[in-house]
Amino acid sequence: MSHRCVIDRSSSGAHPVSDDEIDAVRTGHDLPAPDDAERATIHVTDELALAARPREATFAKLRRHVDDRVTTELVATIEFHGLACRMREMLRVDPEGTV
């Protein structure tokens, strides 16, 4: 199964994704190195994919860069995606629309 991500460009998020960044991900070309906030987000995401809670040190790094609202939205998004992936696997649903 492949995975697809739809980016809502109408969002007024804190860090909109540019067309160049999307093209770089699609083609595998160079992306700018992540900044400290992005790196902290990646680490929290990785740890939440494997456990119910990230390590305290990992979470503290994220909290240095984002406020309560962004933290809540980030954790909710990560966990919702994890739930959706688990349900697709359990129900044997192909994200491309075939069973």
Q: What is the pLDDT of residues 25-78, one digit of tens each?
A: 677 667 677 789 988 998 999 898 888 899 999 999 999 999 999 999 999 998
Residue 7 falls within a domain, yes or no? no
Residue 54 falls within a domain, yes or no? yes
Q: What is the pTM of this model?
A: 0.62
Residue 37 falls within a domain, yes or no? yes
pLDDT at 67: 94
3-class secondary-structure state, position 49 = helix
Q: Which domain holds residue 43?
A: 33-91
Residue 40 CA to residue 36 CA, distance in Å, equals: 6
> 27, exposed or middle or buried, with CB in 10 Å at 0-12, 13-18, 19+?
exposed
Residue 64 falls within a domain, yes or no? yes
Residue 85 falls within a domain, yes or no? yes
Residue 38 falls within a domain, yes or no? yes
Residue 92 CA to residue 14 CA, distance in Å, equals: 35
Number of domains the chain is built from: 1
Residue 58 falls within a domain, yes or no? yes
Residue 24 CA to residue 46 CA, distance in Å, equals: 21
